[in-house]
Structure 1
Amino acid sequence: GLGDISQTVSATGTLNPVVLVRVGTQVSGTVSKLHADFNDRVHAGEVLVELDDALFRAQVQQSEANVGNAEATLELTAANEARMRPLRRQGFISEQELDQAEAAAKSARAQLALAQAQLEKDRTNLGYTVIRSPVAGVVVDRQVDVGQTVAASFQTPTLFLIAQDLSRMQIDSSFAEADIGNIRVAQPVGFKVDAFPDRTFQGTVKLIRLNPVTQQNVVTYDVVMAVDNPDEILLPGMTAYVNIAVARRQGVPVVPNAALRFRPAEPVPAAAPPRGHEGPTATVYVLEDDQLRRVGIVPGISDNRYTEVLSGELAAGARVVVEDRQGAVAASTPVGIFQTRLF
């Protein structure tokens, strides 16, 4: 008969925030205060954690003293240079003595600049003891406690994970190379999650990554799908069971998939191949006058229940056999033991 059919490709994936920010520390120290916890909503610039700053304050004070000392040295050497110049013009001192005074003043200026740079660095490090959220979002993970020592290194330790916006999420999945050619950006996506088994959520294909992933000689491609989550009931880390409709047909001839799998116990004379169409063929069996007749068809797209018939000698109303209810039967067995479907 005629029907609507949709062919899909399936995969599993993981729901993730679109933007997940790892908040770390740029200085080492001991955690003294925590200002955020799991599931807290934070604003950009909001304080998340404070480190013990006693050593950093002491370093700033030392650098401030060094700057004061450098300023005093510069003032002294600059004054000495200023006194030397007229004395040199009057011939009371040698050129070497003036050069030494000028060099001392230049060195004092350099030492002052160095001390000021160190002070700026120490003030910056002091500021780093207060760790703020770089974005507005939700704290999805906290990996630090009060009293814990954190060490800044080449791999900055992660203190917090912040999801920027849980109302928009994405599914990270992978599809086999046999299916990837049917997937296009902006295709609609349907998916389910274990937490809500009776509900189908919707999304769209956002990105097909070109870099292949090969594991045990199996090639797959990563696909990212955009998902709206206005109620924020979908949570990071959930497993998504994805279906993407890659082909649709409406009002086309279809047969049950069970009819393509059916094989009688006794051989039935072969049917002529479908005419006017090239490509792979399949076989179904129809019941006519209590006899099985073998019919060749050219199948089209298929879903879990039906397969499209592109061509073949199936007439409207034909009784297509889908099941042998008694096991081994002959082609001439009466109608009653076969389960059939009208085509």
Structure 2
Amino acid sequence: MSGRPFERELFIPGPAIKLIRKGSQIDMKKIIALVIVLALAAAAYGFIRNKNSVEAQPLIDFAEITRGDIENVISCTGTIEPVRTVAVGTEVSGKIDKIFVDFNDNVKKGQVLAVLDTTFLQSSIRDANASIVRADAQYRKAEKDYEHNKELFDQHYVSELELLSFETTMKSNFASLQSAQSALERAQFNLDHALICSPISGKVINRNVEEGQTVAASFSTPTLFQIAEDLSKIQILAAVDESDIGQIKEGQEVRFSVESYFDKKFQGAVREVRLQPKMVSNVVTYTVVVDAENKEGLLLPGMTATLDFVVEKKENVLLVPSSALRIQPTEEMLAAMRRNWTGRQRPGDSTGQRQRDPNARRQGDPNTQRQWDPSSGEGRRSGPPDGNGNWGGRGQRENMARLCTKDDQGNYSAIPVRKGITDGLMTEILENDRVHEGQKVMSSVIQVAEKQNNSNGPRLDMRVMGRALGR
């Protein structure tokens, strides 16, 4: 609709304009009649337009202040792992002759898990024993030769150089005997380690070999089995964002759940916060280790857990939906709130206006209290308002908010409140004399735009008036 509807809606023909301009050619009665008709037409147009417009009222939802428990938590995900896992390998190369355990078997420390083929290892033992016998015989002969020639040397029948040769042969054979003994020890070690035993008591969670498979331990120890020491206790490696890691402390309470048992909550505690950061897609996280009990055996290695680190917890406090602290009232509501707030009676002030020291205000005294603004829920000076909406000390402005109410007579009012902890959906509000359990507050305000009928307003044809004026 145009800002000047009469210029668009009214049709004034040229003869009527000329008739008006030629005042000397018409009498005064016709001019007065024309003015009256125009005034009546304008009034009728305004009446019909207002009748066609529909005044829209805002849609208001209300919520109730309740009393209950609330927690501030940090949520993240992590992977369940055994507290201690040992990878069992072999130090001896060979073929797997027999496997005695399978997946999920419980084993004891020292229990035989598998055996390698010992045919080659036993032949190595026999060969080492033969080498020892040969080296020992050679050493004994060399020792006798040295002793005999030593007596001849003492009688000056053998030169010193000849004696030195016999001594060298004896010592060389003694070294060969020691080498043969070491070879026997190695062969015995290999034979002993052909029996692959469990180093701990626990449960077999992985097996990487089959009977008849050849394993080579020449360069690196192959992993044959993986054993978890005690699955009645597990640990969770949680990835916590760098923005939240400062709120995680050792011993902190943790709740978590897994998708397999979505309706069950498990408890744990923070054991340590690892200082080594991890960066994935430019997101920095830190690993937090959480200890938990698993006596029922429901939690399995590799499960993904959703964790809630309890940062702060309060019980039996006043709670309000967080949306009630963020609503945007209409201009009419805000005007009514300002009027109701200005009209409130303050203790010791019969005028309803708070007395302030102008000198303190000019000097910027931080202890000067100023009026709380009900339209924004904030004050000009940082700090919480008291029961009269006055602001106190600095540093608490971010904790202040506003609750909006509507009484049975339709009067709107704003209540200053101080916020506590929040879980996102509900927020704690600190108690004061203007809020109580069961009180109704606005939780949402939807402003509906004014609707206008499509029908056009009255259209006045000035040609009719021209004929009425005798033209």
Q: Under a length normalisation based on structure 1, what TM-score does the superposition of the two structures give?
A: 0.88
Q: Note if contact 2:377-2:401 (Cα within 8 Å) is conserved in structure 1.
A: no
**SS of 1:181 mapped into structure 2:** helix
- Residue matched to 1:210: 275
- Residue matched to 2:441: 320
Deviation at 1:87, TM superposition (A): 0.6
- Residue matched to 1:110: 175
Deviation at 1:262, TM superposition (A): 3.3
Q: Is 2:416 aligned against 1:300?
A: no
Tell which deviates more after alignment, 115-124 or 269-278.
269-278
Task: Give the partner amino acid of 2:419.
Answer: P
Q: Is 2:194 aligned against 1:194?
A: no
Larger helix percent: 2
Q: Note if contact 1:15-1:236 (Cα within 8 Å) is conserved in structure 2.
A: yes
Deviation at 1:310, TM superposition (A): 4.8
Task: Give the partner amino acid of 1:239.
Answer: T
Q: Note if contact 1:192-1:199 (Cα within 8 Å) is conserved in structure 2.
A: yes
**SS of 2:247 mapped into structure 1:** coil
- The one-character-per-residue Cα deviations of 1:234-272 (angstroms, maximum 9, x if unpaired) are 211122111121101234343212213433466753245
Alignment of 1:54-69 (within 5 A): 54-69=119-134
Task: Give the partner amino acid of 2:423.
Answer: D
Identity of aligned residues (%): 39
Tell which deviates more after alignment, 133-142 or 197-206.
197-206
Q: Distance in 1 between matches of 2:156 and 2:332?
A: 129
Task: Give the partner amino acid of 2:397.
Answer: G
Q: Distance in 1 between matches of 2:128 and 2:297?
A: 50
Q: Distance in 1 between matches of 2:94 and 2:320?
A: 71
- Residue matched to 1:279: 397
Deviation at 1:3, TM superposition (A): 3.5
Task: Give the partner amino acid of 1:328.
Answer: Q
Task: Give the partner amino acid of 1:78.
Answer: E
Task: Give the partner amino acid of 2:279.
Answer: T
Alignment of 1:7-156 (within 5 A): 7-156=72-221
Deviation at 1:189, TM superposition (A): 1.5
Deviation at 1:70, TM superposition (A): 0.6
Q: Distance in 2 between matches of 1:141 and 1:25?
A: 15
Tell which deviates more after alignment, 209-218 or 313-322.
313-322
- Residue matched to 2:222: 157
- Residue matched to 1:338: none
Deviation at 1:151, TM superposition (A): 1.4
Deviation at 1:213, TM superposition (A): 1.7
Task: Give the partner amino acid of 1:77.
Answer: A
Q: Distance in 2 between matches of 1:153 and 1:16?
A: 31
Tell which deviates more after alignment, 301-310 or 315-324.
315-324
Q: Note if contact 2:70-2:314 (Cα within 8 Å) is conserved in structure 1.
A: yes
Deviation at 1:91, TM superposition (A): 1.2
Tell which deviates more after alignment, 76-85 or 147-156.
147-156
Q: Distance in 2 between matches of 1:320 and 1:70?
A: 101
Q: Distance in 1 between matches of 2:289 and 2:110?
A: 30
Deviation at 1:116, TM superposition (A): 0.8
CA RMSD of aligned residues (A): 2.3
**SS of 1:211 mapped into structure 2:** strand
**SS of 1:199 mapped into structure 2:** coil
Deviation at 1:282, TM superposition (A): 4.1
Deviation at 1:323, TM superposition (A): 3.1
Return closer, same or farther for 1:283/1:311 CA change in 2, 3 Å cut-off.
Answer: same
Q: Distance in 1 between matches of 2:332 and 2:177?
A: 102
Q: Distance in 2 between matches of 1:298 and 1:145?
A: 68
Q: Distance in 2 between matches of 1:168 and 1:137?
A: 12
Query: For structure 1, which runs of at least 5 residues remain unmatched after alignment?
Result: 331-343
Q: Note if contact 2:108-2:202 (Cα within 8 Å) is conserved in structure 1.
A: yes
Q: Under a length normalisation based on structure 2, what TM-score does the superposition of the two structures give?
A: 0.65
Q: Distance in 2 between matches of 1:144 and 1:6?
A: 49
Q: Distance in 2 between matches of 1:322 and 1:124?
A: 78
**SS of 1:63 mapped into structure 2:** helix
Q: Distance in 2 between matches of 1:107 and 1:169?
A: 59
Q: Distance in 1 between matches of 2:109 and 2:79?
A: 27
Q: Note if contact 2:77-2:306 (Cα within 8 Å) is conserved in structure 1.
A: yes
